[in-house]
Amino acid sequence: MADLPKNIGRYLVKRPIGQGAMGVVYLAEDPLLKRRLALKVVRASGEEREQALERFKREAEISAQLNHPNIVTVYDVGDEPALGPFIAMEYVEGNSLGKFIRDNSLELETKFGILIQAMRALRAAHRHAIVHRDVKPDNILVAEDGRVKLMDFGIAKTMAPRLTNAGEFLGSPAYSAPELLRGGDPTPSSDRYAFAVTSFELLTGQLPHPGTNVAAVITHILTEPPVFPAGMSGDMTKVFRQALAQDPEERPGSLMDFLLPLVDAYPLDPNSRTRVNELFRHDDHAGDIVPLRRLRPSANIPPEPPTAATSTGRTTAGLGVRNTPVRPVPSYTLPSAVKIELEPESPTSTRPPGHGQPRDRRPGSSEITPLTMVKWFIAILVAGQLIWWFYRLLNSSAPPA
């Protein structure tokens, strides 16, 4: 690694916390605001340098729009002449979800708590017409206190001027929807597909489309159905088969329409199910903290240093099933995001058969919406009119005295 810079912009560099083919991530301190942060610096020159800076600016804009407790906050963007473009981001001590999957070190209830928090972050992006385009375990950070942060919006899709060449693929193939691999446009449905793959890997320890290299994985995604573990229940298989459908129109219409049936289908004990269901009732901006309940650590798994919110260089994700050798999963780690003009994800999208009407909250929620109040008001007016009409009818039909 090159000599440690003393300053990047106004920030005091402490130490490197990550390195990849495209750049370095440093732990730094803001001397003005007295806070720690992560600085991602990209090595680039010429046109690539300009594109990297534009992507960082876009990521900062997206972060400012979303301002969500489950999305990593971006503080600043700049260009250090001697180093390259940089982005200053929230520093969160913890590890990526990919690390936890590789270690197989989380209890089941904690896994669902992580998925619910990640769902809130992604749903917030969709409601702002932003498609992440690179949802995967290595872009989901789990902090030491249990808070979950979705990161790396650098390749998110927007309708702003294109920052990629026509036909260029950005993302991680193992988690990419078939339509993206065929050159189609990213949509909320393709993000939901990636979220389903992430959920599948977290709960089973394996990917739905296996392969020994990138080409094999892509071929399997495009030509073969998902591979389900032998012990997976029929209900869970049904949920994942729909979520991983080749045709985007056949997938659940919202993240909630996927995650609720998944929780319903999973064999949780009653107490765990109650606690998980309670998380669905909370507001998207509640910023819940789910305690990290770890399984007993394996003696052959070495500890890994804390990961910054913007760590780079994570190019593989192991399957991490207990008693199963860890195998590399082909994926790319690229600079991140892009906004498209699309309808925000509807909370009333079609649910899978057998699950009733769409819902964004679990039964028992006492929320009274403006629409509900209007319906009540109209019902009262109609009832009053009927009573008045019936009273007039009785009086008019009564015999004269």
Q: Does 40 appear as a known binding residue?
A: yes
- Buried b / exposed e across 21-44, counting CB within 10 Å, b at 16+? ebbbbbbbbbeeeeeebbbbbbbb
**Is 36 strand, coil or helix?**
strand
CA 161 to chain centre: 24
CA 57, CA 76: separation in Å to the nearest integer? Answer: 9
Concerning whether 134 is annotated as a catalytic residue, the answer is yes
Residues 6 or more apart in contact with residue 216 via CB below 8 angstroms:
210, 330
Residue 381, φ and ψ in degrees, nearest 5: -60, -45
Other beta carbons within 10 Å of 49: 15
Given a contact cutoff of 8 angstroms between Cβ atoms, the answer to whether 318 and 328 are in contact is yes
Which among 103, 134, 191, 360 is annotated as catalytic?
134
For residue 309, which of 96, 102, 113, 110 has the smallest C-alpha distance?
96
**Which residues are paired to 96 by β-bridges?**
141
Sheet containing strand 74-80, edge to edge, reads 7-8, 11-19, 23-30, 35-42, 84-90, 74-80
Report DSSP state, residue 282. S
Distance between CA atoms of residues 54 and 163, nearest Å: 8
Contact status, residue 315 vs residue 332, Cβ threshold 8 Å: yes
Backbone region of residue 152 per phi and psi (left: phi > 0; alpha: psi in -120 to 50; beta: other values): left
Q: Which two tokens stand for residue 277?
A: 């269901």
CA-CA distances (angstroms) from residue 301 to 110, 195, 312, 318, 325? Answer: 20, 26, 21, 13, 12
Contacts of 124 (CB under 8 A, 6+ apart): 66, 68, 70, 71, 284
Residue 241, burial from CB neighbour count under 10 angstroms (0-12, 13-18, 19+): middle
Residues in binding site for ATP: 40
Residues in binding site: 40
List the catalytic residues: 134
